[in-house]
Amino acid sequence: MLRLFLMSLALLTSRVLAAPPLLPAAPELPSQAYILVDFDTGAVLVEHNADQALPPASLTKLMTAYVLAEEIDAGRLGLDDPVQVSRNAWAQNPLFSGSSLMWLEPGKPVTVRELERGIVISSGNDATMAIAEHIAGTEAAFADMMNRYADVLGLSATRFLNSHGLPAEGHQTSARDLATLAAATIRDHPDRYAVYSELSYTYNDITQYNRNTLLREDDSVDGLKTGYTSEAGYGLVASAQRDDMRLISVVLGSRSQTTRKTESRTLLNYGFRFFETLRPVLPEVPLAAERVWKGVAEELRAGVIDPVVLTVPRTSAQTNLQIAVNTPLEAPIARGDVVGHVMILRDGETLSEVPLVALEAVEQSGFFARLWDALVLWFTQLLGSA
C-alpha cells in the first residue's frame, strides 16, 4: 500500500535560463579526441573518440601529481621534506633537451613543495624525475605506482612508462581516462588541487608562467594541465566552476596552443549554457513523516541520506517531487531502511527515482503496546477496505 505526497518545489531560481525546445548539436571540434563531463554526476555532455588510446605528453603529470598528493595525504611525505636531485633529474640531462624544465641542479636544495609546483605550474620534466626517484627509488618503480593507481581509478585505456610524458611506445591514455583522473584530483585532494590555479612559479631565479592560459582569461577556470609533444599534438585538461556546477573538459591532439584553448573554451561554454547540475533533494532533510506501528515512537521521518545530484538541460520548467511511502510501517526500523521512493519530475517527465529511507531508527515497543497496535492496525485496514 502506498501513500503519496506531492511537493512542488521552486528548485530553479532566476539563475536558470530558458532553454530552446531542442538542444543545439554538440560542438564538433577538429582535435583528435575530446570529452566534456559534469564533475558531480559523471554525466558525459560531449564526446568524440573519448576511448581512443593516445599519447598524453605532459598530461602524464596529472598522475605524477596525483601519486604525490596520495603520498602527502598518507603522511609518507612532507611538503617541506628536502629532496636529493640526482644526475638523472638534472635539467641538463640530454633526455630533457628542448622540453619544459624546472631547472634543477644536483646539490641545489629543493623541497617536495617546490617540486610539486615545478610539476604542476612549470611542467618540469626534471621535477617529475626528481619526485619519482624520491618516492619510489627509480622512475620505473614510480611508473609501476602510477599504473596501480590507474587500475584503482578504472583508467582502462591508460598505461604509463614514465613520470613526465616524453614519447615512449605504449605510453598512452584516453580523453575519458584523463577526465576521470582530473575528477579524482579535484575530489580526493582539494588542497593539492589549489596549486593548479597558481599563475606563476619562481625557482632558481627563473619565473615561469602556468601554461594553462585559460586561467588568465576565464575566472571560472581553476585547473588543470596542458601537454605537448610533436607525437601527441597539443592537449589540455581544464576544469571550471560557475555557480554550483563544475565541468571538466579534455582536448587531445589539437593543432596548436591557440586551438586547444579555443576548443576547451567552446566545450565549457556549451556545457554551462545548455546544462545545469540539479540538486533537488537535500540529504538528511525530512521529506515525509509517517505513522509507525508497534514502535517506541509513533512517527518516522524519512528522506535521503546521500546527496541526489542530476545533470539536466537548462529550462525554466518547475521541478517537482512525488514521494511514495510503503505503508503500513512497522517497527523495528533501522536508519537507512528503504521505506518508499522519491520520484523527481519535470513537466511530468521522470528525471530520476531514488529510495526514500528512514532518517532515524525506531525500536519495537513492549509486548502489550505491540498487541494493541496490531488490533488498531487490523481495524484500520478493515475499515479502509470496506
Q: Looking at the annotation, which residues are catalytic?
A: 58, 61, 123
Grid-cell match 619510489, residue found: 136
The 8-class DSSP code of residue 333 comes to B
Q: What residues have CB less than 8 Å from 309, skipping those under 6 apart?
A: 40, 41, 277, 278, 279
Grid-cell match 532515524, residue found: 360
Q: What residues have CB less than 8 Å from 360, skipping those under 6 apart?
A: 297, 300, 301, 335
User: How many Cβ atoms from other residues are within 10 Å of residue 62's Cβ?
Assistant: 24
Please state, in angstroms and rounded to a whole number, the distance separating the CA atoms of residues 84 and 19: 57
Nearest of 159, 131, 128, 127 to residue 146 by alpha carbon:
159
Grid-cell match 506531492, residue found: 6
Per-residue b/e over 195-208, b at no fewer than 16 CB within 10 Å?
bbbeeebebeeeeb
- At residue 350, what is the residue type? T
> Taking the mean position of all CA atoms in its chain, how far away is CA 162?
25
**Burial class of residue 303 (count of CB atoms within 10 Å of its CB; 0-12, 13-18, 19+):** buried
Q: Which three cell numbers stand for residue 69?
A: 598528493
- At residue 224, what is the residue type? L
Report the DSSP beta bridge partners of residue 291: 299
Report yes or no: 251 and 239 within 8 Å, Cβ to Cβ: no
Please state, in angstroms and rounded to a whole number, the distance separating the CA atoms of residues 174 and 177: 5
Vertex 164, ends 163 and 166: CA angle to 5°?
125
Please state, in angstroms and rounded to a whole number, the distance separating the CA atoms of residues 180 and 155: 7
